[in-house]
Amino acid sequence: MTKLLQGKNSISGLMLFKLLILLTLGGCTVFQPAKTTSMSNYSIEIKFEPAGTTTGEQTILVTATGARSGYDTRRMIYTKRAHELEYFTQNQWVDSPARMLTPLLIQSLENSAKYRAVVSSRSAVTADFQLDTEIIRLQQDFTTRPSQIQLTVRAQLTDIQSKRVLASKEFNISEATSSEDPYGGVLATNRAVKILLQQITEFCVSENKAGK
C-alpha cells in the first residue's frame, strides 16, 4: 500500500514539474495581461479665413446634420466592391461626421459675412431661413487607385415665414487620397469637407437672393 502511494506521489510530482517547465518556456503567458489594440481617433478640422464685415440683414438657422442609415457612426467606412460597406477596426472618428459637420457649416456661413446672424437649432432667435443637411455617403473607395473619398450631402433651404422650400440640392464630392490607408482617407475627407462647405455656403447665399 505504501509503495502504491509513493508511486502516485511520484506521478503527481512529475506532472507538476512538467507543467512548471511549460509555463517557463511559454514566458508565463497565463499570468501576463491580455494585449490590447490601440485605437486611432481622427477629427474633421477646417481652417477658415478671417470673416469680413457683415453685409447681410437676414438670419439663417442651421439644424443638426443628419445621416443615412449606416453612416450615423464614429466608425470609418470603406468599400472594396459595390454595395458592400466595411469598417476599419483600429481607426475611428472622434465623433460622428454628421455631428462634426454642423458647427463647420455654421462657421462657414458666418465667415461669408452674408448674414446678420447664423444660429443653431438650440437658439431661441427667430430666423428667416433654415438649412437642413444630411450625409448620404462618406466612405473611402478602394475600387480605384488611388483610393478616393466619396462624400455626398443633401441640403435643403427653407423660407421659415412662408414655410416654402426654396431649393434642394445634392452635393457629390470625390477626393483622391495621398496614401492607401485610413490616414490618407482622413486627409482627403478634410479636403472634401472644405470644398463641400464652400459649395453649400454659395448655394445658400444664391438661393436666399433668388427667394426674396
- CA–CA distance, 180 with 188 (Å, rounded to integer): 11
Q: How many CA atoms lie within 13 A of 103 on its CB side?
A: 10
Instruction: Mean pLDDT check: name the lowest of 31-40, 63-72, 128-137, 170-179.
Output: 31-40
Instruction: Mean pLDDT check: name the lowest of 50-64, 96-110, 192-206.
Output: 50-64
60-to-37, 48, 128 alpha-carbon distances in Å: 44, 19, 6
CB 71 within 8 A of CB 97: yes
Query: Between vectors from CA 62 to CA 55 and to CA 116, what angle results, nearest 5°?
Result: 15
pTM above 0.85, yes or no: no
DSSP symbol at 43:
-
Query: pLDDT value at position 34?
Result: 55
